[in-house]
Structure 1
Amino acid sequence: MAASFSPSPHDLALFVHISPRGHTLLLLYVDDMIINGDDSEYIAFVKACLRDQFFMADLGPLRYFVGIEVSSTSDDFYISQEKYIQDLLARAALGDERTVETPMELNVNLQPTDGDHLPDPTRYRHLVGSLVYLAVTRPDISYPVYILSQFVSAPTIVHYSHLLRVLCYLRGTITRRLFFPRSSSLQLQCYSDATWASDPSDRRSLSAYCVFFGGSLIA
């Protein structure tokens, strides 16, 4: 393209430009277009090039994108999905206002045969799918979502009750968010763990990992 961006080999929606002064600009296109980088002059140039080719509106600094809220200060960034959780709770139409301290009870071993099957699993599947996306900014629900997603083909009343517990937990922790300091180092660290042959239904191993870029959780 005219602004000299090259497509990333790792993501077809991501384009990268490195200026002669060593500044890196990232252009991400999903439903909207995001330009990020540390060269304000070149960002203005890219916007001008895009306006010459397309009808577009500059929405200013990133605040909200595909359900993810972004806020920043001079020292850090925060990302969250508070509005997404509010919409999810509204769609779930919970019958009470209770909250819980944890997303899943300790030592729960759910089985495919626990309880009677739901006559219509549509809502269960919809809610679990929404929680999978929510885990992008809420890694604290990753484990229960992983467990509950195993039963989307034939969920039972018991599975659904545990799903509702996750929603009650989110209601009480709706303001939690991820923190990304601007002064973070560029060191990449990965932690992993596994429990061998611990799945009670098929004896497969359960594993988990988290990846930090400096002090920021990225995966």
Structure 2
Amino acid sequence: MMLLLLVLLLVGNMTMFTSLLYTAFIYVAIELCVAAAIPDNNNDTAFTTETTITSEQILVYTRDWRLITRAEWAARIPTSISNFTGPAPYVILHHSYQPGVCRTLDACKAAMRSMQNYHMDGHGWTDIGYSFAVGGDGNVYEGRGYEVVGAHAPNYNSRSIGLLLIGNFMDELPPAPMLDVAQDFIKYSVESGHLRKDYILHGHRQVRSTECPGNALYAEITMWPHWQKS
């Protein structure tokens, strides 16, 4: 009877020892995985690349629209660029006429590619002409961006942000959300330091002989803040 009790005690202790050993192994494995996932603080480049978010990105993420980058809409590489020195004193507003209003992300990406191809292949320009565009999907699309001189309004390219609303707005206004996003993007451009606080807003027709940005849209923007007669 005593021998049987001794055997049972030894077996029980062995089971407990095995369980403790297994638990310790799992704990060490988890610690190693966590350590591997944390960037090496001595490698400044790797840490910055993975974790740094600029104030501009944070500001964009707090808006009701998203900034769709050139990479996201598969823009072609420009053949050359001229650096823009901001903040810009002007916003020049445009409509595309063609293509018409795009209402989905994919359709708006396609519209951006179509306009870029037309500008580069049809006009021989170095890139799409506009700085930014607003789509009917409620997003803002990066054209040449803030840091590059546009090709949208002669005599104003080097001192303005060229903002396009995708669609034909001769007779009808853009959908209300497009108008809201356009105005908020202008406000964002001021807040982020890319546009002067005392900026002047013009429609394209005010600086060149053209129907752009369409009769309906032009009448609308004359009621926006900072619009001025030319």
Shorter-normalised TM-score: what interval? under 0.3
Q: What TM-score, normalized by structure 2, do the two folds share?
A: 0.25
Whose relative contact order is higher, 1 or 2, with alpha carbons under 8 Å and at least 6 apart? Answer: 2
* Structure richer in strand, relative to its length: 1
Q: Which structure is larger by alpha-carbon Rg, 1 or 2?
A: 2
Q: What TM-score, normalized by structure 1, do the two folds share?
A: 0.26
* Structure richer in helix, relative to its length: 2
